Amino acid sequence: MAAITGLIAAGCSQSSGTIRTTTSRPQSSTTAPSTAMPTGATATGLRDLRTGQCFVVAKDDPAAADRAVWVLPCSDPHTHEVTDEVTYAGPTVKGGAYPGAPVVQDWAEQTCFDRFESFVGRPWTTSSFEIETWWPSEESWGRNDRKVLCTVFPADGGRTTGTARGADR
């Protein structure tokens, strides 16, 4: 199905309590966003994002990539859009302990993949967008974090304007 490229900044014990991954096909080119805060952006925590918000991931501090993002109106150039926020409902462990990163990651990625086509308008394999998913780490799980964020970003690694909702119809 898809090649999985893990982008784990500072390991599983990040203060943000998340692990970042990208589910993507091989790409021919990538244009990294600027490290400067975009004009009109608001800095916020990744876990505070809501469905429909557009943002740029801070690239100047890899350890902060899972914690700090710059929220922008979707009409401004941005790298990501939140397509869905879901509560983890995958396999559980007796007593509510963390089921393990691979279990949570697999559930989160499959859930975001399953919701992709209804948001963007075509299957992931033929879309101009990629999927990026964030899910709870063991550390954040202990703080009752069960939030999974599904996002999309341009397959060419650049920026886009407007919403991705229905963009590939």
pLDDT at 41: 85
CA neighbours closer than 13 Å in the CB half-sphere of residue 156: 6
Average pLDDT score, the chain: 78
pLDDT at 168: 72
Residue 12 has pLDDT above 60, yes or no: no
Residue 10 has pLDDT above 70, yes or no: no
Residue 68 has pLDDT above 60, yes or no: yes
Pairing of strands 54-57, 80-87: antiparallel
pLDDT at 101: 95
Q: What stretch of H or E contains 31?
A: none
* Tokens representing residue 78 in the block: 């941005």
pLDDT at 65: 47
- So where are the chain's domains? 4-24+43-154
Q: How far is CA 78 from CA 6, 25, 94, in A?
A: 22, 21, 41
* Beta strand spans in the chain (E): 4-6, 18-23, 42-45, 54-57, 68-72, 80-87, 129-136, 147-154
Q: How far apart are CA 74 and CA 114, in angstroms?
A: 23
Residues 125-135 pLDDT 10s: 999 999 999 99
Q: How far apart are CA 120 and CA 122, in angstroms?
A: 6
Place of tokens 């202990």: 142
Residue 147 has pLDDT above 90, yes or no: yes
Q: Which pTM does this prediction carry?
A: 0.75
* Residue 63 per-residue DSSP state: G
Residues 70-116 pLDDT 10s: 999 999 999 999 999 999 999 999 889 999 999 999 999 999 999 99
Higher pLDDT, 87 or 36: 87
**Polymer length of the chain:** 169
